[in-house]
Amino acid sequence: MKHELSWLTLLLSLFIMVACGQTTGAGAAEAASPGPATALPQVTPLPAPTVLAANHPRLWLTPADVVRLRGWATATNPLYADGLAPVVERAKADMDAGRVPAEDCGQRGYTEYPTEAYAQLFAFMALIDPVPAARADYAQRARTLLMHVMNAAALGPADERSYFCPGDPETAVYPPFRDPIFFTEDSDRPRWYGEAFPLTVDWIYDTLTAQDKATISAVFTRWGNEIIQFGYHHPEPIGVINDPVLTADRLQVRWAGNNYFAAHMRNLGMMALALDPADASPALQGYLANATGAWLYLFDEAIRTEVRGGLLPEGFEYSPQTASYALQFLLALHTAGRANPNELGPAVVLDNNPFWDDMVTVYLHAISPDRVENPDNGLQVFQPAWYGDAQRYLLPDFIDAFGALALHDQLAGNSRRLDAVRWIQLHTTPGGAENLVERVRCRLLSFHPALLHDVRPRSSAARRPAPGHAHRVHGSRDATSVHPHGLVRTSKLADLRPGLEPD
């Protein structure tokens, strides 16, 4: 399953379709449940928790969200029944056939079967499936896969390349999940999937044993230290927090806008948030202050100064990823109740920085006024005013970033920006709103678990935009005052008209 695609698209779409009245109540929820759970080999059954843990879930989701999501997991919701449910069944089949985790070689780059991504998907289903027996089965699956990685990583970094991956008997590599830089430096895997580890822990907390949590704490503690010591362009001096000395080197400030840097920040902070204090080492608990006071401190400075205005320095190829990693961490701080500036500094409050408002404004200025046909699939797409690295000239889907921003805005009551982001994700993605179901179905054939958010339109009028709808919602701020590089076609947002007409 390829890292480029995200099953968040399904969840976004699921929430939209439910809000439009395409789902029913509890009876349908029972009908939507997958078939009988398949017995898993080598799993010690544990009692299914009867209630959610007192403080879990707390990363990206809250107990109130879980209740709502169970009501949306219905057979009459096409984006659940035709989108998420088939992907889950495929994931179960992959696990039952032994492809996961056996065909995951546990290296730091691409793998077709990322164990942690499957674990996160099952952990999500362990929360939202309306049938208790199915939830228990999903929780056991998530635990099995999570602990497969944790037990291997707990053996520590390997000294030599002595392992041969299935299908490649000639290339010696480090044993699975034991590469000395598996979770640090410039490894891609923790950038693509790093959030899956703390999210899975949080979402199946009551299913984990005391020994499981001790093992996870030990691994997270080592991984966190490796991020602090060796992470890509890590903050220096090491150990200093909330101090201007961190930003004295302005080149380092610019490096804070890098995608690897932001991913390390997210992973370090979310690992520190996942376990309860009674289950986490003192060092692991202390990493939250480092993640916010050093990494986020630098990133916040960067987007206020060197890269202010809503566009990150790496361009459209990597900037959506960088923004998503930072927003995912800020969202986790918010849902965990740790976005307290008096405790962790002002950078932990998303709305303290104008960059995120500017990102929405600049995105709308950076896309073409009308759509063109993608020759690969015939879909109508907007094109960006490109800058930075590029493999293909196509507007990337910002869902991982805008999804986190939208969920934060819903929780924080920022309806103005939420409406703009909702419009963007409905109408500027490939094929627009008309292609929503098909886009979800196709993208979910390869999933990368990301994050969740509720982007429900408030009325049927939001299903199809009037000209300039999102731009009027977000305001008409002069874009030349937003971004110093002037990447705009017009001076006012209200002048920009996507090629979409009202009914």
Q: How many CB atoms lie within 10 A of CB 354?
A: 15
Residue 23 has pLDDT above 60, yes or no: no
C-alpha of 285 from chain center:
22
Backbone angles phi, psi at 444, to 5 degrees: -75, -10
- Asked if residue 129 lies in contact with residue 34, where contact means CB atoms within 8 angstroms, the answer is yes
End-to-end CA distance of the chain: 38
Cα dist from 144 to 122, 207, 220, whole Å: 10, 10, 17
118: helix, coil or strand? helix
Query: Which DSSP helix (H) or strand (E) runs through 268?
Result: helix 259-274
Residue 17 has pLDDT above 80, yes or no: no
Structure tokens at 293: 């006071």
Cα separation, 397 vs 5, whole angstroms? 9
Contacts of 355 (CB under 8 A, 6+ apart): 303, 304, 308, 309, 310
- Asked if residue 426 lies in contact with residue 437, where contact means CB atoms within 8 angstroms, the answer is no
- By mean pLDDT, which of 1-15, 65-79, 179-193 is the weakest? 1-15
Residue 298 has pLDDT above 50, yes or no: yes
Cα separation, 215 vs 270, whole angstroms? 17
Indicate the burial class of 6 (C-beta count within 10 angstroms; 0-12, 13-18, 19 or more).
buried
Cα separation, 456 vs 17, whole angstroms? 8
Indicate the burial class of 94 (C-beta count within 10 angstroms; 0-12, 13-18, 19 or more).
middle
Least Cα distance to 119 among 14, 224, 67, 193 occurs for 193
Cα separation, 427 vs 462, whole angstroms? 10
Contacts of 25 (CB under 8 A, 6+ apart): 71, 74
384: helix, coil or strand? strand
Domains of the chain: 8-495 (1.50.10.100)
- As beta bridge partners, residue 373 has 380
Q: How many CB atoms lie within 10 A of CB 87?
A: 20
Pairing of strands 163-164, 372-373: unpaired
Contacts of 440 (CB under 8 A, 6+ apart): 9, 10, 13, 79, 83
- Asked if residue 234 lies in contact with residue 228, where contact means CB atoms within 8 angstroms, the answer is yes
Per-residue pLDDT tens digits for 457-475: 333 333 444 434 444 445 4
Question: How confident is the model over 273-297, as a mean pLDDT?
Answer: 97
Per-residue pLDDT tens digits for 304-342: 999 999 999 999 999 999 999 999 999 999 999 999 999
Q: How confident is the model at residue 434 (pLDDT cuts 50, 70, 90)?
A: confident
pLDDT of residue 54: 63
Contacts of 168 (CB under 8 A, 6+ apart): none
Residue 372 has pLDDT above 90, yes or no: yes
pLDDT of residue 439: 67
- By mean pLDDT, which of 12-26, 69-83, 168-182, 427-441 is the weakest? 12-26
Least Cα distance to 104 among 149, 137, 43 occurs for 149
Query: Which DSSP helix (H) or strand (E) runs through 380?
Result: strand 380-381
Q: How confident is the model at residue 55 (pLDDT cuts 50, 70, 90)?
A: confident
pLDDT of residue 27: 34
Cα separation, 308 vs 487, whole angstroms? 13
260: helix, coil or strand? helix
